[in-house]
Amino acid sequence: MKKIALHILTISLTAVVSNGAIIAVDDFSLGSLDTSQWATNGFSGPTYGSDLDGSYIENGYLWTKLQHTPTVSEPLVVSGSWLTPGSGSLLKIYTRTSAVKNTTDPTTGLSFDHWLGEGGSTLNQLLAYDISGAPFDFSSVGTWSSDAPGSFWDFELIDDGSNITWSVVQQSNPANNAVSTFTTTSNLDAPNYIGLYVGGGDNPRLYNVTVAAVPEPASAGLIGLSALVIFLIRRNFGRE
């Protein structure tokens, strides 16, 4: 899979996002922490690198500088792609969190994981849990088998303040996918930062991520909007 390096698009925003906005968009081509968008908050920061597939991060955490309280009219959307090179590969998306460190996880928030099983297993899992210990619906946690090691995956999380949809799809085999929906109202009155972690077996890599507050019905057109932004950046890049 060939990826084209892009310039980082920096947007000036207020401390709390409203009325629809990009919270963070990063293809990691800067090669170091983009402090206009991210903080590490005392957690282990990621390692930056690049390969034939593009720029990436591995083995560490990122937290958004901005926060957003998701609602039905303005849900939170987190999307991107990552590589699972071997068993134990783990991607975590944190939402509704204070981003304050407690050992490895933050002290509050929700965690949504895509995990490739340990011990050489090809078992994939979609996981979710409430770090704060509040009531949480786990009925749709998904587990499925695949030939996942060495695969690229696209992921998307949509949080509308009540229902949260967590989905992944294998790029080379779109039929290999999973979607889980969860119900919770936990932490909506708390700081609502968004966090990312990538790590585990064989150094999995996160290649790009977009975090956005998307007003309905605009969320249906998020992919098209992202494609337009990427097109414009690439066109300008080609003129330099």
Distance CA 79, CA 112 (A): 12
Distance CA 51, CA 3 (A): 10
pLDDT (tens digit, 9 = 90+) per residue, 66-112? 999 999 999 999 999 999 888 889 999 999 999 998 877 888 888 99
pLDDT of 144: 65
Q: Which of 74, 79, 179, 72 is nearest to 124 (CA)?
A: 179
Decide which of 1.10.10.1100, 3.40.718.10, 2.60.120.200, 3.40.190.10 is the CATH code for 26-239. 2.60.120.200
Q: Evaluate if residue 43 carries a pLDDT over 90.
A: yes
Q: Evaluate if residue 206 carries a pLDDT over 90.
A: yes
> Domain limits of the chain?
26-239
pLDDT (tens digit, 9 = 90+) per residue, 117-161? 765 566 788 888 888 766 555 545 566 666 556 889 999 999 999
pLDDT of 118: 62
Q: Which of 125, 128, 115, 126 is nearest to 84 (CA)?
A: 115
Q: What is the pTM of this model?
A: 0.80
